[in-house]
Chain A
Amino acid sequence: MLTALAALAALGLSQPPPAPDPNAPVAPDDAETRALLEALAADQAATDAARPTPAPAVAPSLLDIALILDVAAAVFDGPPLQLGGHDPQRDGFTLQQLEMNLSGVVDPFFRFDANLVFAQFGVEVEEAYVTTLALPGNLQARAGQFLARFGRINPTHPHSWSFADQPLVIGKLFGAEGSRGLGAELSWLSPLPWYVELVASAQDPTGECCARSFFGADDPGLDSPADLMTTLALKQFFPLSPAWSLSWGLSAQLGPNASGPDARTDIFGSDLYLRWAPVDDPDGQSVSLTVEALLRARQVPRDSLVDGGGYAQLVWRIDRSYEVGARYELVTGVPADPLDPAWTDTRTRAALQATWYPSHFSRLRLQGALDQPGWRPDPILAAFLALEVLVGAHPAHAW
């Protein structure tokens, strides 16, 4: 700009010039005009050189919204005894769920996540919670309604499951929607050289989430902190090699049940997840083994009822498009269980699945199961064809 001003001064433009015609053509042999243009061009070049490369436009990222639709066609050769709230429940078609996921960063201190589940006859707030982003001391807190971080599968949603239905042990011990509730959670990442995380949460033990083991539909109110449902978990991860990974967790959930004053329920669990996923396989192959076992003790008048169960599943992701898996489940029962009278004996279920992923955002899953409740004379065969599609911006899942 200084060069241009100097050129203007040299042209004697300190005196008011005659009114210029902006549309008048510039005479190519006008030396003064050429000097002026050259000076302006030099300034422009200098300005351009000093200007940083323009950054690409960045769209504001205030709220991510995603919709996930799970529908299934099912056939059973006996009465469907499915326990999960989003399981295929009857012969014919089932709208398993339409999940709306909303997430975003609130401010430098909090993040917000919500999962609203639309069924054919209503809407439920499956989860709605805030997570801290900047607590000191490797701490992180959550507050709101959330799935308890008990074990491996309970904190996850159906669209991240490897089978079309919920494991029986989760349905029996926690309920159709898993273990969740209103409350608060504090977790701590230890400074140890391997991944060790400690989790503690306290949640309201009432509602659909807790009907199987805690207050459930009965809501006597809270008289003391001991009336809250408390979850404690230890989560560890071991990177055995670039390809092999192992996580191992221990969990406990403690709280009051509705069978009488001061009656308590304790649930203990352990989960193991072993995964082989070579980092140099262009086909994206992986094999994952999940084993989870739970044990429950319920105090009832003049007795203590103990039951439990678990599942083991092996899933082979053949390549980016195909996956197969097998799952075996075993859940025990208590004869004459006053809190769960229908479940009197051991029940086993075996399932096979094959899944096709047309893209990262859709999948078609064929699943067959052989269900053998000990209190029935005949097993129940079932087959599902489940479709899932995802639209929108869905946050990635944790490992």
Chain B
Amino acid sequence: MTTTLPLRPLLLALALLLVPQAALARLQVAATVTPLAALARDIGGDLVQVHALSAPTQDPHFVDPRPSLILLLNKADLLLVNGVELEAGWLPPLQRTARNPAILQGARGHFDASQHVPLRDVPTAPIDRSHGDVHPGGNPHFWSDARAAARVARALAARLAQLDPPNAATYTQRADALCKRLEAFAATQKARFAALSPDRRRVVTYHASLGYLLDALGLEQVATLEPKPGVSPSPAHVSRVVAAIRERAVRALLQEEYYPRSTTQTVARLSGARLVTLPGGPDFDRGETYEAWLTRLTNGIHDALAQ
């Protein structure tokens, strides 16, 4: 008597396991931060599968490089990075061990968003770390500016079209429509904030991370709580900021949700400025779009300044 083993189904299951999943699915996109992930999903729609490597509640400078992220990069056709060394503290070891040359720097599957945006705060004189954690290439926090997002969206659509030529027209059409909406949004918000009286258009921020947004909205940054980028507030500096808030009648103290809050809460209490905790990025896992996040962000600031 012979026993027939179920070899065929087993072999089929093994083969399916060993075939790279990316080959069976849509264009695989990994994005270091959720604003880029949301833009990619807005443009790619059902043609792409997008994974965010960090949460909007995480400081994008410091993300745990968990090995599970290596799996995402291993299967990615396209890696979206913010650039300007924002991810220098955690992304390189993931890229090095992902065994995916398609997403290494210089490859077609590596997209550096900062290359498509006019950058602010590019040092004009030699710098060192006595200036704090300054990014030599310029300020990397451009993703909350709809105008910058439109530039990134156009370039991203072109890259997706390169990687997936049969759907190039779809990417371009979606990006064009998105860019029109973003540019209209930027114009609308500029007018909305311009309607505020000048004394309501002054803010203090925690980190120098909102310069692009403040410029887009026509707001003045009076001071930052960090004396230098990445350096925790000192008592003397905080005292000066409190004095500046009182002197300039600053209405709002802005910080992303991933920065410490005890100092800003105290400063808000002492100075009378309203503390506004901003979402660090779209709630990508729950399907929030880039535009919905930006609307939430700007509404929060406007509400604080208008009151």
Contact = CB atoms under 8 A, between A and B. Distances in A.
B93 A397 contact: yes
B119 A237 contact: no
Interface string B1-38: 00000000000000001111100000000000000000
B20 A191 contact: yes
Q: Please tell me the size bucket of the interface on A.
A: 35 or more
Given A56-B119, A140-B97, A282 B260 contact: yes
Q: Please tell me the size bucket of the interface on B.
A: 35 or more
A319 interface: yes
Interface string A47-87: 00000010110110100000000000000000000000000
Contacts of A197: 67
Contacts of B185: none
A279 interface: yes
Interface stretch (B40-48, B84-92, B166-174, B241-249): B84-92
Contact of A134 (B21, B57, B101): B101
Contacts of B64: 245, 275, 277, 399
Interface in B71-91: 71, 74, 84, 88-91
A360 B133 contact: yes
- Main SS of chain A's interface residues? loop
A245 B92 CA distance: 20
A320 interface: yes
A245 B138 CA distance: 34
B210 to A, nearest CB: 16
A396 B71 contact: no
B232 A56 contact: no
Given A195-B70, A245-B66, A397-B93, A359 B230 contact: yes
A132 to B, nearest CB: 9
Interface stretch (B110-118, B211-219, B291-299): B110-118
A31 interface: no
Contacts of B138: 56
Contact of A360 (B65, B117, B230): B230
Contact of B260 (A135, A193, A283, A359): A283
Contacts of A59: 136-137
Given A111-B96, A133-B101, A195-B70, A56 B57 contact: no
A192 interface: yes
B101 A108 contact: yes
A108 B104 CA distance: 9
Given A134-B101, A396-B92, A396-B93, A284 B65 contact: no
A321 B18 contact: no
A279 B99 contact: no
B67 A361 contact: no
B55 A280 contact: yes
Nearest to B95: A133
Given A53-B118, A279-B57, A398 B104 contact: no
Interface string A308-352: 000000000001110000000000000000000000000000000
A398 B97 contact: yes
A237 B70 CA distance: 11
Given A111-B96, A189-B74, A395-B92, A195 B258 contact: no
B264 to A, nearest CB: 10
Nearest to A133: B101
Given A191-B18, A191-B20, A397-B93, A138 B66 contact: no
A195 B68 contact: yes
Interface in B227-252: 230-232
B261 interface: yes
B132 to A, nearest CB: 8
A399 B17 contact: no
Interface string A116-147: 00000000000000010111001110000000
For the complex of A and B, list the 7 residue pairs with the smallest distance between their C-beta atoms, beginning with the closest. Answer: A237-B67, A134-B101, A280-B57, A195-B67, A239-B68, A398-B93, A279-B55
12 contacts: A58-B115, A131-B96, A133-B96, A133-B101, A140-B99, A195-B70, A245-B66, A279-B55, A280-B58, A283-B260, A284-B59, A396-B91
